[in-house]
Amino acid sequence: MLKRQVFVVFFLLGLFGSKIFASCGSANCPMVPTQKLKMTAFEGWITVDYADQNKVFVGSNESTIGAIKQHHDEVQTLNKRYTIGTRFQFNSNWGLSVELPFVSREHSHNHNHHGAVLVEKWNFTDIGDMVTTLHYTLWLGETHDDEAMVQLNAGVKLNTGQTAVTNAGGTVAEIPLQPGSGSTDYRVGIQAQKSFFNWPLRASLTHYMTGVGTDGYRIGNTTLASLGTQFSLGNSWALGLDGVYQVQQFSEPGTTGESVANTGFKQGFVVPSVQLALNSYLSVKTNVHLPVYQSYNGIQLAAPFYISCSLAVTM
């Protein structure tokens, strides 16, 4: 039985590992936590995310490349992110998590230069910005089986990522494409879960406050809300379904001269997920973000779906 489960794990990782979403070039990837809250002393995980931003949107309508002429007409951004994370629960109230991503990105756009169209491309893999989050359990259910919990989170994104990646021609990638934003960002949020009439529910609300980054550029603040559920199928399998909505404000250009008219958005997703517990401490999980509503300022690239797959160990 264990061999069969191990095969399924590596099948899932093989299926999604080469195509799974990162912090996107246009900074519009979903960031929702869709896992159940747990009170374990230690948890470690490896996550692979994927998003292929190959669709052009003007407002809430799918469009074509160059529909609104720019100095650069965006063509495609293929994002992959490999994240190593760990969490320590010090006592019944306090916990601390740390995540370090490695960003792999392929980007192309058409550079409109004095009537000529020059195709510019980037392809790189580099370290991203580390995130550290402090967790405080405000309320815990009376029984372990209830799994009821309310948790407050406060985190900081540190400026550890590369901010001056270039292509083969030596051209520096635009700031939103870089593995690191050059800024120190903060986030605060609340997560809750509880069963009502044997119906397990979970919800979260998070606000991301961005700092000033490279050359004064600041990515817009983001607010994200989610509501979902997860059901166990026997002792090993669990199915989840979440609804996600996030809003990002316009970015600020600083001294870059970059146009920020094509930044900021509103997005709504349905997120189905499947989780397999190999044993009492090892599990694998995959979720897919399916957009049901998208509205972008100006003209922007978007992905038809986002995939995330993780392998986690808990003790």
pLDDT at 122 over 60: yes
- Residue 142 has what pLDDT? 77
* Secondary structure in 3-state letters for the chain: CHHHHHHHHHHHHHHHHCCCCCCCCCCCCCCCCCCCCCCCCEEEEEEEEEEEECEEEEECEEECCCCCCCCEEEEEEEEEEEEEEEEEECCCCEEEEEEEEEEEEEEEEEEEECCEEEEEEEEEEEECCCEEEEEEEEEECCCCCCCCEEEEEEEEECCCCCCCCECCCCCECCHHHCCCCCCCEEEEEEEEEEEECCEEEEEEEEEEECCCCHHHCECCCEEEEEEEEEEEECCCEEEEEEEEEEEECCCECCCCCCCCCCCCEEEEEEEEEEEEECCCCEEEEEEEEEEEEEEEEEEEEECCCEEEEEEEEEC
Q: How far apart are CA 17 and CA 307, in angstroms?
A: 10
Residue 96 has pLDDT above 50, yes or no: yes
Q: Is the dihedral of CA 268, 272, 276, 277 positive or negative?
A: positive
For residue 17, pLDDT over 50 is answered with: no
Could you give the CA distance from residue 288 to residue 201 in angstroms, rounded to a whole number? 19
Q: Which band of pLDDT confidence, cut at 50, 70 and 90, is reported for residue 15? A: very low
- pTM for the whole structure: 0.88
pLDDT at 60: 97
For the chain, the average pLDDT equals 88
pLDDT band at 10 (very low <50, low <70, confident <90, very high): very low
What confidence category does residue 12 fall into, taking pLDDT thresholds of 50, 70 and 90? very low
**Residue 119 token pair:** 């195709």
More confident residue, 314 or 19: 314
Mind listing the domains of the chain with CATH numbers?
2-314 (2.40.160.40)
pLDDT, tens only, 128-169: 999 999 999 999 887 655 678 999 999 999 999 999 999 999
Q: List pLDDT tens digits, range 19-71.
A: 333 234 444 454 555 556 666 889 999 999 999 999 999 999 999 999 998 88
* Range 17-45 burial, b when 16+ CB lie within 10 A, else e: beebbbbbbbbbbbebbbbbbeeeeebeb
pLDDT at 5: 44
Which range has the worst mean pLDDT, 25-39, 82-96, 264-278, 287-301? 25-39
Q: What percent of the chain has pLDDT over 70?
A: 86
